[in-house]
Structure 1
Amino acid sequence: MEQRWKRIQFGPRAKQISLFLLTLFIVGLSLNLFGELNMASGPFGLRLNFSWGWPGESRLVIPPLGEIKVYSHRWPVVLSATLERIDLPLLQHELIGVNDTSLYLESLLIELRTNLYWFLAKLCLIGGLAGLFGAFLLGRRRFANLWRMAAVGVLSVLLIIGGVLAGFDQEAFQNPRYEGVLAVAPWALSLIEQGLDRLPEFSAKLAEVAGSLDTVFAKVNTLSPLANVEGEVKVLHVSDIHNNPAAVEFIEKVIAGFGVDLVIDTGDLTDYGTSLETELNRKINNLGVKYLFIPGNHDSEEVVSRLRRYKNVIVMTKRIYETNGLTIMGWPDPASTGTTSLMPGDEELMAEAEALRAYVEAADGKIHLLAVHNRKIATPAPPGIPLVIHGHTHQPGITLEEGTVYINAGTTGAAGIRGWGNETIPHSVALLRFNLKQGEYHLAAVDLIRVFSLNGKFILERTVLNQPANHGGVENSRGEE
């Protein structure tokens, strides 16, 4: 009996079964560990991934917004595609002259299908190598055993993928599940769907904006003339871009047209505070002038981290920075640190205002300009602050209160992608002109520029301050077309 038991336990068939099962285990483990492929489909960078999981599903991962999941098959396999990047300039370039975006999408799908074949080939290669490893592990190193186990690995992969495809339910994609931020705001899908449909129109409207700006540059000399001075510094105040790539094009043209020395952005570059959104406006890195950024309530530490990598960007998080003869202080919105809600309450804003005031009082030297996102944390302005610039409300304007000038740039992104098609919301910026008097810079004038992209209309309003002609008062002049 004992000999028979040993024969059953250690016989050739038992060894073959053990080898087969071990090979399958190694193949499955290898697929889980190494089953991924980085690929590009046009302007979209994706990472494909194979893993085991129940129930079987397909996932689109948009970090860190969340995931879109679909119960697409019955096999215990999770197929994931992670969106790593969107090359928006490339997307715009490829859509130039495209009238039917469905044809463009079809070309992307063909490219995606080719990459899926490569992904399948890699999985088969992993399966074959795992089979070889299993054979080596058990000492089965004869050529016949090696190729047989490699074949077992490849066939196992084909069987798994074939099983997934055989029961793949395409109709399941009509009822996706959202997790993370996407559960309450599936903006990524609407961005792709609406953006692709409207990008040709969007590019045409952007050309109209450029034409309007050329008219703005010509009209500026008809406004209230400024005294001829030396050492003028031009600071462009922008705010609330909200993921609109047209805003950076707008900023770029204003910089070139007016000879801007410095850009200050008072926040809300993004909507959800993700690095993926920051990629939509990465041309900031190529503006050619310093770009001071004050985080808004829609920004985040992740956005700040990404912007710090740009060579021309200085992130102003509770700091004082000297440049172009100006001493500038930047104070971030408390929501940008992630320690409070998206819309901080009055108590939180009051506490932030007190902290700001204490910081200013402890600072040495004169501060020419205080930049914040939400004006509430700088109202009233700390003692000695002659100028406060801000955004948040999307309402451009200039006010003088208790000796302090408040400037709101409005929304340079025309309320962002969500504002596309709204004719009442302009792209707006404020151009601050500083003059050097007796060794000190003073704000001499502000040019408030509004451009309505859908109808080509523009409004240019100049406010003159601290001029001898009006003894330090305010004089407004306006150009409109």
Structure 2
Amino acid sequence: MRLRAALAVVAVLVATLAGAYGALVTFRADKELSAGTIRLSVSPGHRGALDLYVPLVDWGARFEAIRLPARLRIDLRTVNRAAVVRLAKGSRLDVNQVRDEAAAAIESYLKALLAVVLAAALALGLLVALAVRGGPGPRLRWTALLAVVTAAGVTAALAVLLPPRGPIDEPQYYAYGPDIPRALRAVEAATRSTAALDQELDAQLVGLAQLVVAPGQRIPVDERSPRVVVASDLHNNALALPILERTARAAPVLFVGDLTDRGSPLETAVVRGVVRAGRPFVFVSGNHDSDTLSRRLARDGAIVLGQEGRLLPDGSRGPVVARVGGLRVAGYSDPFERRSAEDFRDRYDAKPSPEQQGAFLAWLDGLDGQVDVVMVHEPALLEPALVRLRAAPPDEPILFAVGHTHTAAIERIGAATVLNGGSIGAGGTGNLGEGTPIGIGIFLYAREPAFAPLAADLVSIDPGTGSSTARRVRLDAAAR
């Protein structure tokens, strides 16, 4: 008898939840805006986010603004022809109107969704309650009450957790396709801003027009600002060189080590063409590079930096600080760089020793006020310097470009920024099966009246599928 009662309760509970879940995943609504038609839907089982997706150009922007493990998705299905014509003729889109329309559409959709979820949960739960009534099982009034309470609880939880909350900024862009990301083009084309559906429901509609949903409360980054590409960890994957070259588009490239696996003459011959990827191509060695590689790159026209100064084509040393794109750039050779005299053997230890970290800190102290960018392959060398920066954040901006971890990351410490673009070589030719994404960073800055970071774009590409994401992080005072 107790078992039957327990099974009946479980059946009603499961049926009620199944009804709610089924309604959640299947209910969608199309809403008309002045700019076009959007479709709203929910996709459970993901990290909570608001997705703005444009199928016409196959890219979107994602904002982590939802606490429920689900994505509230807004697809731009069709574009209002009259709006596109007006934009193509130079008219401006009334972004406030579109923003208000989109906010109203989301509110209307969520209200309808909650009603449908409640109705579906109640219907299925009460239906099962009726089916299991009678006999030695629980009375109908108790199972019906369970269905009502469960349906109401699920609906209330959705009402609290599903609507976007807080500021919506720092989007992650994503796209699909085998080429260097549409997502990156979206990032670079953006001249947008922040706050409610704040950043972008926009699409570069086959070159005709841009639709932008953004209230313009933040001063946009000037996309004509100077830029440098931050890359590292190619590990001989020459197939990724065209991606690096197309991303740079004649901008300087700061390559932060591990161009090869051993730095042997054969590997050097394979990758030496990388110097054409940037104008100029600036290099510091990593633990998988060698003195042979550095000398070859210097002879081929790269700016090869080290703590002793720039390596010149004749093997001598020049100034420690080089001028690159209006920036004062210095670099620190990896302490585990391989040596031709030792047959390019692996010299890497688990991490730099305290003595090596101290040597880096002393070198950095000697450059106080003289550099805008410091390139160092091994992030662990920075640890004592970062401890000091956290205790006393610098007044003048400085960028630390790092590599080694194969993981894209950005950290702000006062006016200091630590930027890791990830692995441009997807972990290298020997590790392509590990699923490491192709990673690359783009740093935008101002030169006048003084060096000032503006933004960093972190781009990630799945080498197997071509699926790509790009995230912009604002670094300027206007973003705060």
TM-score, normalised to structure 1, is 0.49
The structure carrying a bigger helix percent of its residues is 1
Q: Which structure is richer in relative contact order (CA contacts within 8 A, separation 6 or more)?
A: 2
TM-score, normalised to structure 2, is 0.49
